[in-house]
């Protein structure tokens, strides 16, 4: 077969797997969110649909599909329809550059475990895309022609812009250490247990807090603060359009966890694992183990995201802003300076 | 007016002010909570049996020789939701009066128990029925046949009324 045909087939397959895998992962995150919240409140949680309630999220999605799609009369119809698409589309687009492992050889063909491997602005692409994501929420709030939606949308844009700064700055320390914007290389620079978390603990904490704010999760879920704003930016959405916002939130959560694992916890690196198992570079098995390691490392963070939501109350808006601008930003800047000085001394 | 005493600044010590240790403590608390025994009752399988004090669907008491109700209409008069409709008829028996028609609209009833309280004959009482499901609006209007319940089944409630009613 021709070279380009094989490559585009492999690419298409990878895209198919990523998109569907993500949506299923999001569905199960919803399930676990409900389960964990139930356990925390001494309840049982969903247990009726399928064994242990495992098909609950699919029943929910199916229900959303069947629901009536209501568009307010005075809404701006075009933007109202396109806002959820922007949200979910951008949430998924980020996965073009996120690697879940290195590569393997299949019939002489080198297959990478990411859609666009070795893209030299990978990290910038992720940060840029997540800032575009705010358009989805703001447009949703604005086009609904509802004051609560508008407030939610505006809150989300202010919040995201504030925390994007500290998020981006907290990663500069990582960039200085690994000297690359390519996620593959950042992970490779951490091989052998030299994980960035040991060199950048402050950077990690800032990134973690900003990630909570960027994904609109409690304690920073002001754009959808139910007691104040009815439902926030998605008040006027129903049916699967609402479902898309919901899925986008969970996909963003997965993205944040993937970034934490890749940037701070060595990605697929586990000291001595691959040597002990005797998996050589480029074998399919090694790639599978790498994928498993990345996902396995993501699980504690996903759990943290969910547990935090059911433990902490929401910040007040002024507290949110003063935390972002007066604490996170100076700390992130100080972190860059300290990292730079230490690197100068030890070089 | 500026608050000067007992402000957040004075109340919190340094570790509490930087949030993180306190957040970790909170997360630890919820984590421990996850493994405690669950309190949920699996409803359709595990049915809850209320005590006599429970106010479920109002029913009419049926004795051996027919209903207790004398169709005085007081319950209908007192009902805040206007749920009860009574029509009186006469008989040859000692009680002389009986309801020809007695209907309670369960879509209106708010389970306040006023009908029970006002009834001079203790003829209408609140039962333990709480799983009320209707498929049509008309089905929700219960007539006399559906309302009459043998006295033996209402012992808990009658006992409760005997003890606590003034
Ligand atoms: S139930 Fe009691 S209050 Fe109501 S009509 Fe009959 S006797 Fe009168
Ligand atoms: S319980 Fe209250 S609302 Fe219901 S029928 Fe009796 S008086 Fe009316």
How many angstroms separate the CA atoms of A14 and A156, rounded? 32
Centre of ligand 1 from the C-alpha of residue B122, in Å: 8
pLDDT the model gives residue A234: 81
Mutate to test the pocket of ligand 2, among B60, B107, B109 (most ligand atoms within 8 A of CB): B109
**Residue A311 sits at the chain B interface (C-beta within 8 Å):** yes
pLDDT digits (tens, 9 = 90+) for B53-105: 899 899 999 888 888 888 888 999 999 999 999 998 888 877 788 888 999 99
Domain boundaries, given as residue ranges, for chain A: 63-346
Which of ligand 1's atoms lies nearest the C-alpha of B68? 7
**Residue B21 sits at the chain A interface (C-beta within 8 Å):** no
CATH number, domain containing residue B158: 3.30.70.3270
In a domain, B84, yes or no: yes
pLDDT digits (tens, 9 = 90+) for A193-234: 788 888 888 888 889 888 888 888 878 877 776 777 777 788
Domain span at residue B105?
Answer: 58-165
Please answer yes or no on whether A308 and B27 come within 8 Å at the CB atom.
yes
Residue B163: count of CB within 10 angstroms of its CB? 9
Q: How distant is the Cα of B35 from the closest Cα of chain A, in angstroms?
A: 7
Q: Which residues of A319-340 are buried (b: 16+ CB within 10 A; e: fewer)?
A: ebbebbeeebbebbeebbeebe
What residues of chain B lie within 8 A of the CB of A310, using their CB?
30
Considering chain A, what percentage of its residues have pLDDT values greater than 90?
1
User: Taking 70 as the threshold, does the pLDDT of residue A1 lie above it?
Assistant: no
Mutate to test the pocket of ligand 2, among B85, B111, B129 (most ligand atoms within 8 A of CB): B111
What residues of chain A lie within 8 A of the CB of B43, using their CB?
none
ipTM, interface predicted TM-score of the complex: 0.72
Ligand 1 atom 7: residue of nearest CA? B69
Query: Domain count of chain B?
Result: 1
B5: phi then psi, degrees, rounded to nearest 5: -100, 145
Centre of ligand 1 from the C-alpha of residue A249, in Å: 58
**Residue A40 sits at the chain B interface (C-beta within 8 Å):** yes
In a domain, B79, yes or no: yes
A19 by Cβ neighbours in 10 Å (0-12 / 13-18 / 19+) ranks as middle
In a domain, B98, yes or no: yes
Q: Which residues of B21-50 are buried (b: 16+ CB within 10 A; e: fewer)?
A: eeeeebbeebeeebeeeeeeeeeeeeeeee
What are the strands, taking DSSP E only, across chain B?
A: 58-63, 66-67, 84-90, 97-105, 124-126, 141-142, 148-150
First-residue to last-residue Cα distance in chain A:
51
In a domain, B96, yes or no: yes
pLDDT the model gives residue A311: 87
User: Taking 80 as the threshold, does the pLDDT of residue B130 lie above it?
Assistant: yes
């Amino acid at each position: 077969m021709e070279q380009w045909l094989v490559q585009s087939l492999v690419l298409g397959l990878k895209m198919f797997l990523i998109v569907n895998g993500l949506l299923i992962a999001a569905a199960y995150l919803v399930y676990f969110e409900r389960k964990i919240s139930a356990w925390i409140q001494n309840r049982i949680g969903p247990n009726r649909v399928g064994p242990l309630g495992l098909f609950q999220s699919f029943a929910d999605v199916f229900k959303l599909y069947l629901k009536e799609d209501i568009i307010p009369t005075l809404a701006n119809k075009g933007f109202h329809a396109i806002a959820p698409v922007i949200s979910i589309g951008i949430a998924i687009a980020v996965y073009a550059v996120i690697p879940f492992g290195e590569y393997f050889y299949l019939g002489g063909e080198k297959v990478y475990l990411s859609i666009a491997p070795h893209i030299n602005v990978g990290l910038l692409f992720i940060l840029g895309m997540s800032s575009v994501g705010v358009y989805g929420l703001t447009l949703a709030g604005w086009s609904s022609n509802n004051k609560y939606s508008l407030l939610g949308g505006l809150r989300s844009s202010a919040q995201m812009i504030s925390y994007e700064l500290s998020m981006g700055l907290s990663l500069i320390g990582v960039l200085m250490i690994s000297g690359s914007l390519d996620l593959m290389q950042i992970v490779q620079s951490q091989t052998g247990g030299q994980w960035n978390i040991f060199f950048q603990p402050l950077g990690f904490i800032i990134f973690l807090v900003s990630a909570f704010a960027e994904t609109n999760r409690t304690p920073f879920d002001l754009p959808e603060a139910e007691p104040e704003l009815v439902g926030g930016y998605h008040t006027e959405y129903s049916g699967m359009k609402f479902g898309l916002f919901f899925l986008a939130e969970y996909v963003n959560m997965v993205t944040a966890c993937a970034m934490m694992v890749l940037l701070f916890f060595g990605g697929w690196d586990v000291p001595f694992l691959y040597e002990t198992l005797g998996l050589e570079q480029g074998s399919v098995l090694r790639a599978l183990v790498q994928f498993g390691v990345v996902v396995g490392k993501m699980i504690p963070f996903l759990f943290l995201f969910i547990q935090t939501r059911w433990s902490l109350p929401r910040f007040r808006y002024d507290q949110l802003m003063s935390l972002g601008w007066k604490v996170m930003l100076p700390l992130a800047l100080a972190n860059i300076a300290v990292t730079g000085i230490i690197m100068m001394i030890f070089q | 007016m500026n608050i000067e005493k007992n402000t957040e600044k004075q109340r919190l010590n340094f570790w509490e002010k930087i949030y993180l240790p306190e957040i970790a403590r909170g997360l630890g608390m919820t984590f421990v909570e996850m493994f405690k025994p669950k309190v949920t009752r699996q409803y359709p399988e595990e049915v809850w049996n209320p005590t006599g004090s429970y106010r479920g669907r109002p029913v009419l008491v049926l004795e051996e020789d027919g209903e207790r109700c004398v169709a005085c209409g007081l319950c209908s008069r007192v009902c805040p939701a206007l749920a009860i409709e009574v029509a009186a008829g006469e008989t040859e028996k000692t009680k002389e009066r009986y309801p020809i028609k007695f209907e309670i609209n369960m879509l209106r009833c708010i389970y306040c128990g006023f009908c029970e309280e006002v009834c001079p004959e203790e003829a209408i009482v609140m039962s333990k029925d709480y799983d009320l499901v209707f498929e049509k609006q008309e089905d929700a209007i219960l007539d006399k046949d559906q309302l009459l319940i043998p006295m033996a089944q209402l012992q808990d409630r009658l006992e409760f009324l005997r003890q606590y009613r003034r």
